[in-house]
Amino acid sequence: PRTAVVIVGAGPAGLTLGNILRAASVDCVVLEAESREFIERRPRAGVLEEWAVRGLQRRGLAENLLARAEVHTECEFRFEGRRHRLPYAELTGQHHYVYPQPLLVTDLVREYADVHGGDIRFGVRDVRLHGLDTEHPSVSYDCPQTGQRRLVRCDFVAGCDGARGVTRAALPAERVRVARHDYGIGWLALLAQAPPSSDCVVFGIHPRGFAGHMARSPEVTRYYLQCPPGDDPGNWSDERVWAELRERLGAADAPPLTEGPLIEKRVLDMHNYVVEPQTAGPLFLAGDAAHLTAPIAAKGMNLALHDAFLLGDALVARLGKGDTSGLGEYAARSLRRVWDYQEFSQWLSEIYHGTASGDPYRAGTTLARLRRLFTSPTAATAFAEQYLGTDGTS
């Protein structure tokens, strides 16, 4: 069997790419290690930037999202016992959409497979890439139904298999540079079966450590608590979690937190990486496979979509009209936004974690940085532009 593009991984990047290719009648096959039920339920991100939603909308992929997502226009910082609202939509004319990643993935799978009859194979094992230094690459895998090895020949391979995938390892080691940054910090990522406790995202900047509140839906809320890297979620009883959230998100006039059962407790070791170049011959990496940003600034899913838009349009131009310019520029255009978001994540990380660093100098500069956001409209606007990704880096 032969197809134009094999896409490894059915996350936001791979599914968006698949939809762009199907809409242009480009043949493709998506290979996914997990089951459809699993990927449609896997909770992760929830914050989408307006340019990303418009990109999905232009490609006919945002109908449910626009009908169901919540629009957020401000965020709130709590520090030194006070609440400070930052009205980012007023400052930039753009806003965030809150739409849980599993809902977006569900929409994208339905559009690709059910509406357009796209080829997607779930539960595949042991995906391997071959012939990347030739004109005739191929991808092989173990088929879950028959247990047999299958091979798909293709023109291009899109590596959209996330941070733990296999396609990144197929880049030639001697030509690849991986830039890494480890924050040395853990976040306990929590999902509470409870309505949000605020109408916006809340960042608690506290000497005991960062705490975050992010609405996901009227019934489910994400919270984060800074913790030591590698901490065991078993150390965090529900009582301890809620006590710590109350303390770190506490502020004068803050409404009490709406508590509920905690349905997810995971410790994330906060680190970033960027792979350069993210292409080799017919292989193009997209999304977390090529670059990871810790969820500090809620950027990962947005970057995955950005890559899918660029790569999808470039592959359509190449396979439809023989125009290679988009593929040639893909890595550089992706990386401009990636590095911009990396820098913002690093800047924001200092705001989140500086006061709890135990270093009075860092605590002092962190608080100065925070106060500036609420005394200088220029500083607030600069923050808002980066928070919403409106700086035109694409």
Residue ranges in contact with ligand FAD by CB under 6 A = 8-14, 31-34, 39, 44-47, 101, 124, 127, 160-162, 164-166, 189, 268, 287-288, 295, 298-302, 304
Kindly tell me which of 119 and 161 has the beta carbon lying closer to ligand FAD: 161
CB of 50 to ligand FAD, least distance (A): 13
d(CA 38, CA 354): 37
CB of 368 to ligand FAD, least distance (A): 27
Strands of 28-31's sheet in order across: 119-121, 28-31, 5-8, 156-159, 283-285, 279-280
CB-based contact 64:99 (threshold 8 Å): no
Kindly tell me which of 165 and 204 has the beta carbon lying closer to ligand FAD: 165
Q: Phi and psi dihedrals of 103, rounded to 5?
A: -70, -40
* Inter-helix orientation angle 300-321/12-23, to 10°: 30
CB of 322 to ligand FAD, least distance (A): 28
CB of 323 to ligand FAD, least distance (A): 25
Q: Phi and psi dihedrals of 307, rounded to 5?
A: -60, -45
CB-based contact 371:75 (threshold 8 Å): no
CB of 53 to ligand FAD, least distance (A): 12
Question: To the nearest 10°, the Cα dihedral for 244, 295, 221, 369?
Answer: 60
CB of 321 to ligand FAD, least distance (A): 27
DSSP string, 5-61: EEEE--SHHHHHHHHHHHHTT--EEEE-SS-HHHHTT-----EEEHHHHHHHHHTT-
Kindly tell me which of 9 and 55 has the beta carbon lying closer to ligand FAD: 9
Kindly tell me which of 165 and 186 has the beta carbon lying closer to ligand FAD: 165
CB of 253 to ligand FAD, least distance (A): 27
Kindly tell me which of 166 and 379 has the beta carbon lying closer to ligand FAD: 166
Kindly tell me which of 15 and 249 has the beta carbon lying closer to ligand FAD: 15
Alpha helices of the chain — where are they, by DSSP H? 12-23, 36-39, 50-58, 63-68, 88-92, 101-109, 238-248, 300-321, 325-353, 360-373, 377-388
Kindly tell me which of 9 and 282 has the beta carbon lying closer to ligand FAD: 9
